[in-house]
Structure 1
């Protein structure tokens, strides 16, 4: 009886883990048609991104995982920006803009950093609450990856190579 119960629990746990993995790695839906206002005053529109791969990451200056991802984002920018990749780091609405600007300057972030003061961008991307949350958008404007937590650099490189 105990063995049967353990097998059922193990099976349910595996099913739940598979569902979470599938949800985070196999999301394919249209990206929201949003514009991003960067800390440098640039307005990035859907037309600017059409036909290009885009990596949108929601982050915060006080998020350890977000800070851990910065070198990966810088590396991806260096590797793929010449091939059209746009990286847009969207600061969460609760992050003070002066903190965002200071970190972008101190880390010399080479990619676009946008503010989301009212939380509209996070809302349009599915009510993003946790950081980091990363979306990979293909050249057709479809979200092909939604990852909550720190992404694996090698996995992201492989995905970008296929776009």
Structure 2
């Protein structure tokens, strides 16, 4: 009887240890940002290799999304606050957003960062089949996805995280 209890205890400890190790491994490994190619409103062709060594905020949005329109001034402020320190922003308009609406919005709001129109939906697909807007993805200098926000982020917390990521080597 004692031997079976002891064996059960050893098995339980081993199982818990294994589960803890797997949990740690999943925390340690971050998802790599996908390799994407896109065209900005100004016609320039860009790909995600341009993000190397930068902290990048990729914001999926639509002109018909009231939350997106509401948060855009804070996205602009975030970009302006950190751009001189190796931070970049890319606004990706969803495939269903009329290009003329996107261009008008970007011009009238004087968006200070690159704006891409995801005509085919391929960029949203590559980032995990993004369907809800706004969806914002924060990428570190190593090209790893650090955080995903669905809905408007807590911008104070986002700024704190950006500060941490910019300080990393």
TM-score bracket, normalised by the shorter chain, equals 0.7 to 0.9
State which of 117, 120, 138 in structure 1 corresponds to 2:119.
Answer: 117
1:72 to 68, 74, 94: 74
Which sections of structure 2, spanning at least 5 residues, go unmatched? 1-26
The yes-or-no answer on 1:32 pairing with 2:34 is yes
**Shift, 1:77, TM fit:** 1.2
TM-score between both structures, scaled by the size of structure 2: 0.79
CA RMSD of aligned residues (A): 1.3
1:81 aligns to what?
83
Tell me if structure 2 keeps the 8 A contact 1:55–1:87. yes
Q: Determine which of 134, 137, 158 is the counterpart of 1:135.
A: 137
2:56 matches 1:48: no
What is the alpha-carbon distance in structure 2 between the residues aligned to residue 36 and residue 82 of structure 1?
A: 23
Quote how far apart the aligned CAs of 1:84 are.
1.3
Displaced runs of 4 or more, over 6 A? none
- Check whether the contact 2:35–2:49 (CA below 8 A) recurs between aligned residues: no
Give the CA deviation at 1:116.
0.5
Aligned to 2:21: none
- Residues 57-66 or 41-50, more deviating: 41-50
Query: Are the equivalent residues in 2 in contact too, given 1:28–1:145 (CA < 8 A)?
Result: no
Which of the pair has more CA radius of gyration?
2
State how far apart, in whole Å, the 2-side matches of 1:156 and 1:36 are: 25
Q: Is 1:96 matched up with 2:98?
A: yes
Looking at structure 1, the residues matched to 155 and 48 of structure 2 have their Cα atoms a distance apart, in angstroms, of 26
Q: Number of paired residues? A: 138
- Aligned counterpart in structure 1 of residue 108 of structure 2, from 78, 103, 106: 106
Q: Which has the higher contact order (CA 8 A, sep 6+)?
A: 1
Distance 2:30 2:102 in 1: 30
Alpha-carbon distance in 1 for matches of 2:64, 2:152? 14
Q: State the alpha-carbon separation in 2 of the partners of residues 161 and 140 from structure 1.
A: 15
Equivalent-residue separation in structure 1 for 2:146 and 2:139 (angstroms) = 6
> What pairs with 1:7-18 in structure 2 (closer than 5 Å)?
none
TM-score w.r.t. the length of structure 1 is 0.82
Q: CA deviation at 1:28?
A: 3.1
